[in-house]
Structure 1
């Protein structure tokens, strides 16, 4: 399926990728769970996240924090507080630094706690998506605070696309563990 353009498609692809990601996580062996993520020998994996995340918890926390960005942004703006998606002082050129801050903040969060936090935030995001119509999600200029994009594109990025990112990363780690 291409990028969702309806609420039904958004919910379907987010759910499918969420389920696929969780299926991969539950099938991980103790060795795969305990082996640190290390992609330093793969020259194709240049993006900062390949170096940043060291374990499953780090990946789950990243997803959780992006859920929080979406939830807080929508709720604040719906309440009349004009708030950008990315918190100050970050912007789309510096959001990598924000991701590192998220990583740092959660180094004492357990894997079990990260799983619970992420599941709860996933449920909140999906309920939030349900509140909007197709037009509200996928038509431009419905909400001034969304800018030139659509609200749905933020949902897709924070859910389905991010889960796909996690799936690729986990598969690469599992493959590396199997050697």
Structure 2
């Protein structure tokens, strides 16, 4: 799927990838909620998320928390309180620590609750996106608080691109688990 450049494309990509994610999770059955993610014997992915996310709940709450970041950031800036996307003390160099904070926060969240939270925050992000025009979403510099990146780019990162990441991760688990069986 090409990277969206219009509001309609953004909405379509986000909804399409979210539906694919939910279908994939649904295809795994109820037992998938308690099964640890397995990526293959001796698998050692380079990125921290491969070791961080132990189950589907961890993936779902990760997506949910990044939705919440986007929503809070947009609403705060729209209210006139200029804030960076990442909350202090985090930066793009230390956002992995923020991801670990999210992981720790949700270690007692039930699998079903994680999916409910993800569904709710997805809906809220889609409502947020719908408030903006094509120009507001995709004109560089339209909002001073987005810096050199468009608001639409942040929305893509928090929705369709992030859903694609989760889908790839879950598919890796499914393939490795099938080979193991």
Q: TM-score, normalised by structure 1?
A: 0.96
Q: CA RMSD in A?
A: 1.2
Return the alpha-carbon distance in structure 2 between the equivalents of residues 29 and 115 of structure 1.
14
Tell me if the contact between 2:62 and 2:103 (Cα under 8 Å) persists in the aligned partners: yes
Tell me if the contact between 1:38 and 1:51 (Cα under 8 Å) persists in the aligned partners: no
Shift of 1:38: 3.4
Classify 1:17/1:109 alpha carbon distance in 2 versus 1 (closer, same or farther; 3 Å). same
Return the alpha-carbon distance in structure 2 between the equivalents of residues 114 and 85 of structure 1.
23
In the other structure, the counterpart of 1:82 is 82
Tell me if the contact between 2:137 and 2:151 (Cα under 8 Å) persists in the aligned partners: yes
Return the alpha-carbon distance in structure 1 between the equivalents of residues 91 and 110 of structure 2.
29
Shift of 1:46: 1.3
In the other structure, the counterpart of 1:16 is 16
Gaps of 5+ in 2: none
Return the alpha-carbon distance in structure 2 between the equivalents of residues 111 and 34 of structure 1.
8
Shift of 1:30: 4.6
In the other structure, the counterpart of 1:52 is 52
- Deviating 4+ runs (over 3 angstroms): 29-33
In the other structure, the counterpart of 1:164 is 164
Task: Write out per-residue CA displacement over residues 107-158 of structure 1, whole angstroms, 9 at most, x where no aligned residue.
Answer: 0010111111111110000011001000000001110000001000000000
In the other structure, the counterpart of 2:67 is 67
In the other structure, the counterpart of 1:110 is 110
In the other structure, the counterpart of 1:42 is 43
Aligned length: 178
Return the alpha-carbon distance in structure 2 between the equivalents of residues 4 and 50 of structure 1.
27
Residue 132 of structure 1: SS of its match in structure 2? coil
Shift of 1:37: 1.3
Q: TM-score, normalised by structure 2?
A: 0.95
Task: Write out per-residue CA displacement over residues 43-88 of structure 1, whole angstroms, 9 at most, x where no aligned residue.
Answer: 4x21100000000000000000000000000000000111110000
Residue 21 of structure 2: SS of its match in structure 1? helix
Shift of 1:177: 1.3
